[in-house]
Amino acid sequence: MIKRIRIVNAQLFYTLHRCPQGGMNLLVKNSKRITNARLASFNGVEYHLVIKKQRFLCRNCGGTYGAHSDLLIKNHTMTKQVKHRIFSTTKIIGISTSTVGKILYGNTKTLYKCEHLPENICFDEFRSVKILLHL
User: Per-residue pLDDT tens for 64-101?
Assistant: 888 888 888 877 777 888 888 888 888 898 988 788 88
pLDDT at 52 (0 to 100) = 93
Residue 88: per-residue pLDDT: 87
**What number of CA atoms fall less than 13 Å from residue 112's CA on the CB side?**
2
Q: Where are the beta strands (DSSP E) in 59-129?
A: 64-66
Predicted pLDDT of residue 50: 92
Query: What's the CA dihedral at 74, 77, 79, 85 to 10 degrees?
Result: -130
pLDDT of residue 2: 59
Is 117 within the bounds of a domain? no
Which among 27, 117, 12, 113 has a CA at the least distance from the CA of 63? 27
Closest to 53 measured CA to CA, from 64, 40, 38: 64
pLDDT of amino acid 111:
65
- What is the total count of domains within the chain? 1
Instruction: Tell me which residue range forms the domain holding 41.
Output: 5-100
What's the confidence (pLDDT) of residue 26? 80
In this structure, is residue 108 part of a structural domain?
A: no
Model pLDDT, residue 113: 66
DSSP-assigned letter for residue 14:
-
pLDDT at 10: 92
Using 50 as the pLDDT threshold, list the residues of the chain that sit under it.
1
Cα separation, 23 vs 2, in Å, equals 50
Please indicate, yes or no, whether the overall pTM of this predicted structure exceeds 0.75: no
Note whether residue 127 is domain-resident. no
| C-alpha torsion sign, points 94, 97, 100, 102 | negative
| Concatenated DSSP letters of 58-99 | ETTT--EEE---SSBPTT-SBBHHHHHHHHHHHHHHT--HHH
